[in-house]
Amino acid sequence: MRRKAATPAPGVWEQRAPERSLMLWMALAMLVGFLVVLGTRAGQGDPPKARDLLPPLVYAGTLGFAHLVLVLSRFRGDLSLVCAPMFLSGLGILAQFRMGILYAGDSAWTLRDLLFPLGVALMLGCVLLFRGGRLAALRPFYLLAGLGSLALVGAVLATGTRFRGAVFASGNLTPTEGLKILAVFAAAGALHRRLDAVEGGLFRSLHALVPFGVFRAALVALLAVQRDLGMALILSLALLGMLVFASGRMSWILLAVAGLVVVTIIAGDQIAHSQRRMEAWIDPFADPTGSGWQTLQGLSAMFAGGLWGAGYGLGRPDRIPIAESDFIYAVIGEEFGFVGCVLVVATYLVLVLRGLRVARAAGDPFVSFLAAGFTLVIAVQTLVNIGGVTKALPLTGVPLPFVSLGGSSMITSFVAIGLILAASEGAVSKRHTAGKTGK
């Protein structure tokens, strides 16, 4: 009996066909959104200008460039991790253009207008630089990453200026966004070095992880002095998640919750700014025109959106404080309704689940911890932002990843995605090999 010839593996062009289709739909949706805004403005006596065509053209061009680079480099990583952040960024660009923040006026392009293509370029650079197992080569530098994390916060404290209670670098920049990369690298290296102890008994793990705990405590303490409680919360929860991921034990969460309660009580007594936020969270109506104003305006906008939303371009984001950054989720809720909010949350869930899948499938423990850490940082930041807008959590002033206006946050988020993608290529290849051998 004649054997059937083996079916050849699909080429990269065929393999990435779903990604290509998704990107085409994303570009089309973006174009329709911009046409709606331009039509609304024309009806209000503001005729469209040639410059108004730049956002959809830049967005579509960036998608096409990214897809072409991935195909030409024969990249076989996870396509969901490519499309999800680009879709979220498209929503953010639409919302910010509609509010007159991006591509506004007749002046030359600003750096703000080019953040999305710059972020995607950095993502692609990370993929090309660290694919093929090269990410594991960074393992010996985890101590430098840890020292760099502490030095970065120290430099901001020494040279920065105070604004709204917190300390920023000159120009109100937030270089501490780099901690989302450096701190995860340091934690991944420390966990890998103590892997045997981490997987052992609880008391053995506690003794072995003293350096990890000291690093985490020092970093959070410096961030507390800087009054960047949002970053302190994100990194605390993300590093805790990495510890649970590495050890496979949920008992660490109970210890961490007890520590978090103690830290919250101390911080609440020492930092008046955090006390005001806690009071506004518990009862925003106690000071409706002061500390509770942001929360109440955000909730009012989302309530006005209802199930289907007021309609794109028909909301009133000018009534929402810091609508382009901290409260952009409320803008989406008002104009796209509950359905739009569910779509955004579902996209984040896809991104997080695929990122954790890459982490579990990675062959090298250090790379696995890295992928898990970067995924958890994005997940926690998303949870903290949406929780603050919906009053499920106190406000912390962190942006919504990929959607909010914020240069440092968008750049570090795309770099994190690029590093996860670099890890995903080996994970995808491993799954294909296992499927062919029937394992």
pLDDT one-digit tens code per residue, 64-85: 999 999 999 999 888 889 999 9
Query: Residue 171 — pLDDT band, cuts 50, 70, 90?
Result: low
Q: Which residues lie closer than 8 Å to 399 by C-beta, 6 or more apart?
A: 325, 326, 328, 381, 385, 405, 406, 409
pLDDT at position 439, please?
A: 45
pLDDT at position 288, please?
A: 73
Q: Is the pLDDT of residue 381 over 60?
A: yes
Strands (E), 182-225: none
pLDDT at position 207, please?
A: 61
What is the rounded average pLDDT for all residues in the chain? 82
- Tell me the pLDDT tens digit for each residue of 312-328: 878 888 888 888 888 99
Q: Is the pLDDT of residue 135 over 50?
A: yes
Percent of the chain with pLDDT over 90: 35
Q: Is the pLDDT of residue 438 over 80?
A: no
- Region 8-13: what's the mean pLDDT? 64
pLDDT at position 291, please?
A: 73
SS3 (DSSP) at 167: strand
Q: Higher pLDDT residue, 264 or 103?
A: 103
pLDDT at position 313, please?
A: 77
Q: Higher pLDDT residue, 371 or 397?
A: 371
pLDDT at position 268, please?
A: 54
Strands (E), 266-411: none
Percent of the chain with pLDDT over 70: 81
- Tell me the pLDDT tens digit for each residue of 197-233: 665 555 556 666 777 778 888 888 888 888 788 888 8
Residue 167 pairs in a beta bridge with: 162
Which amino acid is present at 293? W
Query: Residue 5 — pLDDT band, cuts 50, 70, 90?
Result: very low
- Tell me the pLDDT tens digit for each residue of 384-437: 999 999 988 888 888 999 999 877 899 999 999 999 999 998 655 555 444 444
Of 66, 51, 55, 85, residue with least CA distance to 414: 85
In this structure, the strands spanning 161-163 and 166-168 are: antiparallel
What's the CA gap between 41 and 56, in Å, rounded? 17
- Tell me the pLDDT tens digit for each residue of 237-274: 898 888 888 877 776 677 666 666 655 555 555 555 56
Query: What are the two backbone dihedrals, phi and then psi, of residue 437, each rounded to the nearest 5 degrees?
Result: -90, 0
The pair of structure tokens assigned to 304 is: 């006005």
SS3 (DSSP) at 173: strand
Q: Higher pLDDT residue, 224 or 184?
A: 184
Q: Are 81 and 351 in contact (CB under 8 A)?
A: yes
pLDDT at position 215, please?
A: 84
- Region 167-184: what's the mean pLDDT? 79
pTM, two decimals, is: 0.89
Of 419, 390, 414, residue with least CA distance to 402: 414
SS3 (DSSP) at 324: coil
pLDDT at position 371, please?
A: 96
pLDDT at position 408, please?
A: 85
